[in-house]
Amino acid sequence: MNKWLHASVCVVLASAVILPSSTAALQADLPPWTDAEPSSQATSSSNATEVQLAENARSAVLMDADTGTIIFEKNSHDKLPPASITKIMTMLLVMEAIDEGKLKLSDKVSTSEYAASMGGSQIFLEPGEEMTVEEMMKGIAMASGNDASVAMAEKIAGSEKAFVQMMNDRAKELGMKNTHFENCNGLPAENHYTSAHDIALMSQALMQYPNVTKYTGAYEDYLRQNTSKKFWLVNTNKLVRFYQGADGLKTGYTSEAKYCLSATAKRENMRVIAVVLGEPNTKTRNAEVTQMFDYAFAQYTNVPLLKAGERIGGVRVEKGMVENLEIKAQRPYTVLLKKGDAKQNIRFELDAPKSVKAPIEAGQPIGRIVVYQGDKMIREFPVEATQNVAKAGWWTLFKRTCGKLFFVK
């Protein structure tokens, strides 16, 4: 009788859980061996309240790369021509394709007639010439090769037009609200624009692939090294040689955009991104970015909160193949503070529901980390599921319910 009663209760409970519920020379970066500079000046006005930076730039941003905290900005959302800084998005899509296994650094890339026809900065690819993805990346990152950029675009998407659509789609995903690309290399085109803030966002995304600094941070290298057409590459970004910790990212120049730069540097546990647009000449551009770097490293520090892989907490999964989902840090979490601020008062809490319903996909938002300094909230980070959890079938739920019924102590 007792066995029959237990079985009846089990069936009832199981039923409940499974019920529904202009000239080419002026159309790209100038070659490294020329010092030619236009004489026109960019406007100078700053939004900074504590410090005056990038006074000659038309627009500027200084960002902490790890947290995305904006340290300084000036006209940062103005829509402006980016020139060859466009290639940061091109490099990002290349690195993502490699990360996803769609591309290998050793893959051969063939040069089309169209890619070889690009003017401005180039590595002088000939129609039909092949280079590896790695060699093309050197040509893009160091020599700002317009031809190499188009060749890579065609390799990944089949055509530059299709690749540019990918660029614009990725820009939307990154929250780049003041950006529209018309090509993959930054040659002047109507309706081709971005902002200093948006450039900082895509630069931050590119820095999620630290191996890219192998190309963006190198000062010189060679292409076609074992041939009679050996080609010397010299990085258009001179800061990678002359500023301690600088290892990228991309210069830009057209007669319309003036001198532009998205630069990054790392010292100890802090990486910063400095973007300037519309500078009057290379000397001013480099000096003002150097000043921005100096300010960030002198005034700020990153305080570590969590290491990658460290457990944050957990939530219960309703009707899932697993009953509990462990929440782990998918990357190191840090908070940017001014040097001298009381670090010992920093704490964080996990703000997440007690339970979530299956199915769950890896990357699905399930809560947030809230950072406090004393009683003041100073930062929050989204938290995502680190694994897929499928919805359990009725038999799994039936056995789980019965197991709890008969074996609970």
Q: Catalytic site residues?
A: 84, 87, 144
Say how far apart CA 261 and CA 289 lie, in whole Å. 8
Bridge-based pairing of strands 258-267 and 246-254 is antiparallel
Question: HEC string of the chain?
Answer: CHHHHHHHHHHHHHHHHCCCCCCHHHCCCCCCCCCCCCCCCCCCCCCCCCCCCCCCCCEEEEEECCCCCEEEEECCCCCECCHHHHHHHHHHHHHHHHHCCCCCCCCEEECCHHHHCCCCCCCCCCCCCEEEHHHHHHHHHCCCCHHHHHHHHHHHHCCHHHHHHHHHHHHHHCCCCCCECCCCCCCCCCCCEECHHHHHHHHHHHCCCHHHHHHHCCCEEEECCCCCCCEEEECCCCHHHHCCCEEEEEEEEECCCEEEEEEEEEECCEEEEEEEEEECCHHHHHHHHHHHHHHHHHHEEEEEEECCCCEEEEEEEECECCCEEEEECCCCEEEEEECCCCHHHEEEEEECCCEEECCECCCCEEEEEEEEECCEEEEEEEEECCCCECECCHHHHHHHHHHHHHHCC
Phi, psi angles (nearest 5°) of residue 375: -100, 0
* 210 touches 98 (CB < 8 A): no
